[in-house]
Amino acid sequence: MSKTVRHILSLSGGKDSAALAIYMRDRVPQMEYIFHDTERELPETYEYLSRLEAYLGKPIHKTRPDYSFDKWLEVFGGMIPSSHRRWCTKLLKLNPFEDYIGDDRVVNYVGLRADEEREGYISHKANIRTVYPFREDGKGIEDIIQILEDSGLGLPTFTKWGRTRSGCYFCFFQQKIEWVRLKETHPDLFEKAKAYEYANKKNGNAFYWSGDEPLEELEKPERVAEIKKKWEVGRAARLKGNSDKLVQILGGADPEDEERVGCLICQI
Ligand code: SF4
């Protein structure tokens, strides 16, 4: 056990933790930056993290789970994770975080903003004290975007094609429109996600990523057109009636999506 207190910031690949890393770089020079790699991340996440690493001037340590996603899936009998069966966060993110820390006393920096209300999976081990610098300093979404722009890093690269959250390419927190965009941008990853839905086929079961809609239904041209139309109508309405959220929409953070509670450790 280390006698000194360690300062650790877990990056998710998302905008808030990246902005927090930039914000804290000169405030806590001894900060350790880590990323819990599920090995099922988007390629853009690795690219973004390597640019962030260059900015920070320090390596970002990548933790790995004890067993791969596929191995755990086998253990769970082909039952892919969902918001009700969320085994992935604990096994692929939280456990590797706690293993990395061990029994050391740690200050854990989390990028929750002052303008959001959400909770999620974080470690509650007695040797870990979690702090929320953006909340303490009253920093909201506009500040986060400003920090990222001023640094030259910008928003996560995956926001360019309309993905709003970091995390695994198959994450069940995705909106339907994001599945459509995944298929258009990374058809190979969409196919892999689709194959996982039938991992339990031999037992006569299938589990779906997007509610009760199989991806092979969601990808049909008429369904894609319907999803896109619905999203456009919703977006126009939000822009019209909610101008204070404009910066979020332009920043790639759809307010509707902000309301979908994800995992802090995966997606902040
Ligand atoms: S990003 Fe989504 S699928 Fe991946 S570990 Fe987190 S909750 Fe699970």
Could you report the per-residue pLDDT of 129-144, keeping only the tens digit for each? 999 999 999 999 999 9
Q: Is the pLDDT of residue 249 over 60?
A: no
- Ligand 1 atom closest to the CA of 265, numbered from 1: 6
Which of 37, 8, 5, 6 lies closest to 20, judged by CA? Answer: 8
Query: Residue 251 has what pLDDT?
Result: 42
Closest-CA residue, ligand 1 atom 2, reads 171
Instruction: Choose which residue among 86, 178, 257 to substitute to test ligand 1 binding: the one with the highest number of ligand atoms within 8 A of its C-beta.
Output: 86
Q: How far is the CA of 102 from the centre of ligand 1 (A)?
A: 23
Q: How far is the CA of 30 from the centre of ligand 1 (A)?
A: 29
* Ligand 1 contact via 268 beta carbon (within 6 Å): no
* Ligand 1 contact via 88 beta carbon (within 6 Å): yes
* Ligand 1 contact via 92 beta carbon (within 6 Å): yes
Separate counts of helices (H) and strands (E) for the chain: 14, 5
Quote the CA–CA distance of 167 and 40 in Å, as a whole number: 8
Buried b (16+ CB within 10 A) or exposed e, 197-218: bbbbeeeeeebbbbeeebbeeb
Task: Identify the three-state secondary structure at position 153.
Answer: coil
Tell me the average pLDDT across 238-266.
55
Query: Residue 263 has what pLDDT?
Result: 65
* Ligand 1 contact via 21 beta carbon (within 6 Å): no
Tell me the average pLDDT across 16-29.
97
Q: How far is the CA of 109 from the centre of ligand 1 (A)?
A: 20
Instruction: Choose which residue among 11, 12, 84, 89 to substitute to test ligand 1 binding: the one with the highest number of ligand atoms within 8 A of its C-beta.
Output: 89
Query: Residue 247 has what pLDDT?
Result: 44
- Ligand 1 atom closest to the CA of 166, numbered from 1: 1
More confident residue, 241 or 26: 26
- Ligand 1 atom closest to the CA of 92, numbered from 1: 5
What confidence category does residue 259 fall into, taking pLDDT thresholds of 50, 70 and 90? very low
Query: Residue 125 has what pLDDT?
Result: 83
Query: Residue 199 has what pLDDT?
Result: 76
* Ligand 1 contact via 263 beta carbon (within 6 Å): yes
Instruction: Choose which residue among 10, 11, 17, 92 to substitute to test ligand 1 binding: the one with the highest number of ligand atoms within 8 A of its C-beta.
Output: 92
Q: Percentages helix, strand, coil for the chain, rounded to the nearest 5?
A: 50, 10, 40
DSSP state letters, 157-175: GGGGGT----SBTT-TT--
Query: Residue 245 has what pLDDT?
Result: 55
Quote the CA–CA distance of 265 and 25 in Å, as a whole number: 19
- Mean pLDDT score across all residues of the chain: 89
Show Cβ contacts of residue 48 under 8 Å, excluding neighbours closer than 6 positions: 13, 18, 153, 156, 157, 158
Q: How far is the CA of 81 from the centre of ligand 1 (A)?
A: 8
Residue-wise pLDDT tens digits, 151-196? 999 999 999 999 998 999 999 999 999 999 999 999 999 999 999 9
What confidence category does residue 205 fall into, taking pLDDT thresholds of 50, 70 and 90? confident
